[in-house]
Chains A and B, each alone.
Chain A
Amino acid sequence: MTKAAACHNGLPSAYLQKLNRQKRAPYGFLGIFFLLSMVPFICRNDYYVHVMIAIFYTVIYTSTYRFILRTGQFHFGAHAFIGIGAYASVLLVTRAGWSFWAAMPAAGIIAAVCALIVGFPILRLKGIYFAIITWGLGDTLRFVYMRFKNPFGGALGIFSIPGPNPITIPGVGVIDFSQKSHYYILALALMMLTLYVLYRLERSRIGLVFGAIREGDQLARAIGINIMNYKVLAFAVCSGLAAMGGSFYAHYTYYISPQDFTVLLTIYLAIYTVVGGQDSYFGAIVGTVVLSLAGEIFAGYSHYQLIMYSTFMIVVLLFLPQGLVSFPRYIARLFVGNSANEVKGKGNESALT
């Protein structure tokens, strides 16, 4: 019936395959991690390393955002939880004197707890109501940061945030975060961790439940699945992971202000997700990478950059409802033939729900 259903047809054998794949998955993630961690030692230009770092933390935001979208909630307040993560970790480090390595997970936990607290009342809301309330939440927090100068630094934000504390890794040596490549490894590790957690969530029973939730709440509820608990769980886990990304961002840029966590951030995430393809696990990643790189190319021409983003989004929404990840399939179908109709038919079908 829906796009999600199309992904899950022929369940038993596909499910077994998935379980099999799942066992091998950690090795895959580790392999990708080591492969990518070579990059800063081959390409020594700090600029490219920086671009990769920015992509990594944005992928953390985007893929968690996509997962919340996947639970059927139109989330419009991702900036709220990223902001909580950034501010919490910075305050723990600068005010309470914590180590970054304790503060970052703590920031994630704080954000997850906040998500739990607000999740139960607001996650029963649907569609626009949920969007308005999450957006309102984010902007309320922004006003709190701006108004309370004492811990939050007011409109000017917090400056001179220290980088992560140096750590010693046996066999590698001291990593003191004086170079971009150190941040690169940290960001990469954080991203792979996030992606792995999301992968596990997505490919597990819970993931199937989310598929069911997206298809239709009533149905899932009728089978006896407690939707609320699963939704809150997803919301909390994703918010916590995004908050850890926010914490990394704060200690990487050394400066945060309320201006960094506006609804615009969420809109960017939405664009990345939609352009990449919100139904696919890789959609958020592809969208972030493609648009971030395109954004770098257009960096000097700001309004044209925004025009490029919005055109991308309009084209994808109208012609590639499954996002850029479906582009190869789309092309293949065109060449194999007969399937142009299928694609079209599918679009109509999904439009019916």
Chain B
Amino acid sequence: MRHVVFVLVTALVAPVCAETPGVLAVRNARIFTASGPAMERGTVVVRDGLIEAVGANVPVPADAWVIEGAGLTVYPGFTNALSAWGIPRQADTAPPGRRPVAAPLGPVARGPEDRPLNTSWVTAQELVQPGDPSIERARSGGFTSAVVFPGAGIFAGQGAWMNLAGEKAGHMVVASPLGQHLTLRTSGFTSFPGSLMGVFAYIRQVYLDADYYKASREIYAKEPRGMKRVDYDRALEGVLAAPRVLLPAVTKVELERMVRFGAELKRPVVLYGGHDAARAMEAVKASGFPVLVNLQWPERPRQADPAQEDSLRTLELREAAPAAPAALAKAGVKFAFYTGGLEKPQEIRAAAKKAVDAGLSREEAVRALTLSVAEIYGVADRAGSIEPGKIANLTIVDGDWFQERAKVRAVIVDGVKYEPAAEAEKKEEPAK
């Protein structure tokens, strides 16, 4: 048997792939499929961007480029469940999951009808720049994809599952739109909404208006004659297009509040934040809302006043946050991870490890970065696990990703292999 041995000879610049091989196999690797039990020794075959086969005894096709998997672990491609990766940073775009801040003043809004801080129609793919440095950094950290959301405004816009490689944003889109990203920003002192209360009232009115808009247009469409037409409202179009609503909630009070509020909206809701979930579990579980847990665990601010003691509440939240995923898993609540303000691959890994140290099993942790993300967004039919027919997104790690010294060897995105930039200089040994 002759195998084409895939040796990476790469430039230092991204994208760091060679010619796209049509067929690729990782053999004799440890495989976390996410959809089934982990395999200690197995082979994954990828063809034309899709997973062709996975199993302990899967033959390696003759035309495959082969990665020798000894010592390697293959995961479904890690996916950031809520991110702004690929969207060039703007001064006024806080990363998702950050506390709301007053947005810059636009025209003064006098009520919900002015649709302040509303760009609900904006899609992630409109904003994503394939060359944005965050994309390569994410791949270096083992991420093959991210659910990217616009982050500016109260109705920030619509998210898309983006694969983190490609010449054009359009190619990167796996599924869109996946949801409306809501934040609790205020307009500040002079413009509506100027308070958290106002934000709630605003969101509530917009969803009422959206339903009203939809119903009116349907009635009109049936018989336009004799009826005044309804004005086109792009803010409501955007709201209606999104199949689910993402609502922020970190503390117990916020989680319980959002569970109540989310139920009012009569739409699928996903909560994001989640640090205090253990204390709010009863409400969260009863709601049936999945939770996106922010991997950026709370910690004492670097610049804190040394004489300023943290409150017990603050300390308890810091203590509880990394244990929230384990608690969610135990309670049977669907959850996934997002990276919040974390950027460095090491920080992301350390944060996930903290959740494992706090009682989450590795399988569950991997799931929260892979299949659970896909399930929450309704794209598990094409992504999130290593199963035949699914998109060939794989994360290949030297050893166990949760170990500090483990290195991301490569990611495979849409069947194309990418190596971390920092490691690209090292040449791999040809397989024997």
Q: Is chain B a partner of chain A in the same complex?
A: no
The residues of B with any CB-CB pair to A shorter than 8 Å are none
